[in-house]
Structure 1
Amino acid sequence: MVGERVTERVPENWRWSVTTRAVVGLALVVALLSVATGILRIDQEAADFGPIAPHVPLAVQEAVGFTGALTGFLMVASALALRRGLRVGWWATLLLLPLTAIQGLLQGSQYSLPLVVLSLVSMPTLLLTHKRFDRSLSLTTTQLAAAGALVGVQAYGTFGAYALRDDFDGIEHLLDAFYFTLITSSTVGYGDIGPETEEAQLFTMSVVVLGVASFGIAIGALVGPAIQDRISKTLGMMTDSELELLDDHVLVLGYGDLTEPIVSELDATGEQFLVVTENESATSSLTDRDIRVLDANPSDEEPLGRAKIEDARAVVVATNDDARDALAVLTARELRPDIRIVAAATDRENTPKLERAGADDVISLAELGGHLLVRSALGSDESPVVSRLLETD
């Protein structure tokens, strides 16, 4: 019964996972092909092109070489977003795949045929897995402000330089103005475009100061948290920003041999949950499986507060130590008197103790195991105890 249901669900979840990994893999392959064909188109001579797209102007073929490489790098970013299950990554990939196919056709190269075919093949697979990528991209106010400042400075420099184009040597078009702004604000400064009047010099200095400041702030605000998250995951820790996203989740307090089936079941059903344990090896293992884990003592108030127990829907406690479980149950009950707490007792005699600690329901594994063995031996589903325990499944 229970085993059959779990057995039926695991292959379905496995197939779903394989399909999701296939989408991410296809996106990465398309990204690499787009970059590679773009570079090849830039490097090769015009004589090597044309049979596939003879009516495409040479200027267009050369332009899509540059844009194809750029699209490839954008596709890499969208594939990484897909890897994290972000909805924005799914939308970005959905928009970029037709673009890579079109660019492959316009490049007019026999080398771009695999890019076109793979881009078209990837789109149906992406559409079939749209429900899997449901995580929202959460940006802090600081990150939004930093991104806005970076875009604002580039806009200021581009339109300002274009308005003062008569005071510069080398600015004739809006693209020239953007090129000047990007090169100047990033402090590269090739020197091919320069100011010729005092007004243009003052403007150039303002672009340098604002550009350096905006780039510094953007890197600190946008890239810094990503580095911090990676370090935290390596050390088996969750950041405060990740914990803030928890809502209506299940808290699993402690980790042991009895906890692993619970974690696997919650992961298979797609429930949002967080494991709180001070077991370092378990923390590392769960982190490698992309399971949320907080490295802390589950019987302390501070980590349960960080785990947002006030917003949790239920608490599950099931390790190999009934005494430690009782402390975790007691702490959780004090912090959330109204939350449902379910515990497992390894020793049947400890069942009333866990109930007095605050557990709403205590399952004696010895009792449950005995009834399951009898039912299996007799080939009967009539055990009232087992039926009661399985009603919530």
Structure 2
Amino acid sequence: MNKLRQLIISTTASLMVFAMGTFGYMFIEKWDLMDSIYMTALTLGSVGYSEVHPLSFNGRIFTTILIISGVGLVMYLAGVVVQFVVEGEIRAILGRRKLDKSINRLKDHYIICGYGRIGRTLCRQINEESAQIIVLEKSEELVPVLEKDKMLYIQGDASSESTLIKAGIHRAKAIVTALATDTDNVFLVLTARQLNPDIYIMARAGSQNVKSKLLAAGANRVESPYDVGAVSMALKLLRPSVSNFLDIALSRKQRAIQIEEIRISPKSKIINIMLKDSGIRQNYNLIIIAIKKKDGEMIFNPSFETFMEEGDTVIAMGRASSLKQFNEELNPQ
């Protein structure tokens, strides 16, 4: 902003000096407008051309004053313009390099393809839990929005192999395809699965017909924003209390109670121990809603004799501080 202010002030001052020079020659020498403009330009530009017409004594004094006051100002304006342009380009280059370095350091991150309404809302939700996000967006118009939101991003075609590789797809934990059309999302899923057979892919579907195609292309999960929104609205109408409870439990804004999923690591002390002997209820005051086994079986409201094994995922509900302590217990450093 300081450079921009200097540019505006120096430009305005230079134009005022130029106008004063023009009208000065018209008044003192009685020249026409074009000759006065030309003479002023020669004087301020210091190009060394001869006068348009022979100058009178007063005209020479005026020209001397114009040279002393105006040439330095014009040179200063030229310097500000060059500095403004060069520093702007350098700043853009350095900013891009800083972004690239941050992207190259990412590991187990989330790649969000598309920064429209869905992509932007998704990034906000993930940001509450993890800052390991990179956005791939094709539209140049959304770059200022990405910079305003302080997102790591690559401006380019998300379905391009080079763009995905630059985004670190081989190191990524998951990728979300939230492009505008189903065709683009299907092609993106195919490309992503080819580059990284193990990555988790969540795809956006605009219609029911394309869900099977996205799954066949390699998506692990397909979601339709319209279906999800309709289900949420119906739940709020039919079971408002349940909906309010879930909003509180699943939101990171309310720290009183949350629902969390925690994977049991090989270093955990509760491996092969029954739920009743784990001390979860007594030590952490948590409610175990379900346990997802390694084979994908989901045990809801597990009995007190359920064994917890390595690789199981525990879905627990309780205070955020208690969930954090429990996570440290299941995943010791």
TM category (shorter chain) comes to: 0.3 to 0.5
TM-score w.r.t. length of structure 2: 0.43
The structure with the largest helix share of the pair is 1
Please identify the structure whose Cα radius of gyration is greater.
Answer: 2
